Amino acid sequence: MILVTGGCGYIGSHTVVELLSAGNEVLVLDNLSNSKVSVIDRVARIAGRAPRFVKADILDRKALDEVFKAHRIEAVIHFAGLKAVGESVAQPQRYYENNVAGTLVLLDAMAAAGVKQIVFSSSATVYGDPEVVPVSEAAPYRPASPYGRSKRMVEELLFDLYAADPEWRIAVLRYFNPVGAHPSAFIGEDPNGVPNNLMPYVTQVAIGQRPELSIFGDDYPTPDGTGIRDYIHVVDLALGHLAALTALSDAPTCLVANLGTGQGYSVKQVVDAFEKASGQRIPVKITGRRAGDVPCYFADPSYARTRLGWTAQRGLDDICRDAWRWQSWAAAHPEEL
């Protein structure tokens, strides 16, 4: 059985669907601080069977011990954590407690139960503003926020753990910009309040929840002046976790891989692609740059290709089509969320 912490969240729920579809038994552990339990029913609707679910916090050692005692867990995919960059600047202790201390508690409980296989959700944010694009795993680390530093700290913790006990099987996956939704439209990103990120903001403008998109700067040194990112379809990202588990099943190791497409798109290109995929017009206004934004980054995904046998298969049109399907379904079925 695979334990998925944070499995009710955006990336976790898509990964649980793929794990179930590939025949795995799955136990989701989530404290529901940024998700709703109804997602379990929608995951089951897609996969044809439900994962098990435990409402618990990764900081609760007793609850974790009970989970490891009651189930034969082979591996953990660890998504649980807080992820809002701005919030992490305002409330750094909460971020270090949840993301770093929470992971320490989880790793301790795993070691006590003899479970030494983990896939960890890291982020391209550990690279900060990269000197060279595409960004390879060898790029220097310059996380620019408490959130980014919490991810880097957990990475270091995992590297030290492997150095101390090479029986561990560890995959650190650095996500670029996860976007899109499951093509069934039953699960997707459902942020609380005003979205911080581009794609959910665009879909909320398209559905009429917000009047227009602010484009944060069109004077960057990029072809159309707007910021460039590597947008990866969340289903491709989910499949990257299955590929990582397969790689870990071969032999003990500690690997670090970028999960991105290798292709960058500008904000304007995303808006154009979304208008085409949805048939909706997205009114935009150009505002000033957002503090902390970098002009351009996208992944060098070649290590994931050679080491994990994984490449992203879905492009920007698929991303926009699926994000729009999800937003339309969610707006029409609020009682199911």
Say if strands 265-266 and 228-229 run parallel, antiparallel, or are unpaired: antiparallel
Tell me if 146 contacts ligand NAD by CB under 6 A: no
Instruction: Determine the Cα–Cα distance for residues 37 and 8; give it in Å rounded to an integer.
Output: 7
Candidate residues 4, 20, 34, 152; the one interacting with ligand NAD per rule CB under 6 A: 34
Q: Over the Cα atoms of the chain, what is R_g?
A: 19
Q: Are 76 and 12 in contact (CB under 8 A)?
A: no
Residue whose CB is less far from ligand UD1, 103 or 122: 122
Task: Supply the minimum distance, in Å, between the C-beta of residue 251 and ligand NAD.
Answer: 26
Residue whose CB is less far from ligand UD1, 204 or 302: 204
Residue whose CB is less far from ligand NAD, 61 or 280: 61
Tell me if 278 contacts ligand NAD by CB under 6 A: no
Peptide bond into 143 cis (omega under 30): no
Residue whose CB is less far from ligand NAD, 98 or 278: 98
Q: Is 147 a catalytic residue?
A: yes
> Which residues here bind ligand UD1, judged by CB under 6 A?
85, 123, 125, 177-178, 196-198, 201, 213-216, 227, 229, 267, 290, 292-293
Task: Supply the minimum distance, in Å, between the C-beta of residue 181 and ligand UD1.
Answer: 14
Candidate residues 58, 139, 153, 312; the one interacting with ligand NAD per rule CB under 6 A: 58
Tell me if 145 contacts ligand NAD by CB under 6 A: no
Instruction: Determine the Cα–Cα distance for residues 90 and 197; give it in Å rounded to an integer.
Output: 18
Host H or E run for residue 204: helix 198-206
DSSP SS3 for 17: helix
Tell me how crowded residue 138 is: count the other CB atoms within 10 A of its CB. Answer: 9
Tell me if 83 contacts ligand NAD by CB under 6 A: yes
Q: Which residues contact 295 (CB under 8 A, 6 or more apart)?
A: 220, 221, 222, 227, 228
Q: Are 35 and 9 in contact (CB under 8 A)?
A: yes
* Site track for ligand NAD across 235-254, x = CB under 6 A: --------------------
Instruction: Determine the Cα–Cα distance for residues 121 and 244; give it in Å rounded to an integer.
Output: 11
Q: Which residue in the list 95, 147, 220, 265 is annotated as catalytic?
A: 147
Binding region for ligand NAD (CB under 6 A)? 5-6, 8-12, 30-35, 57-59, 79-83, 98, 102, 121, 123, 175, 178
Catalytic residue ranges = 147
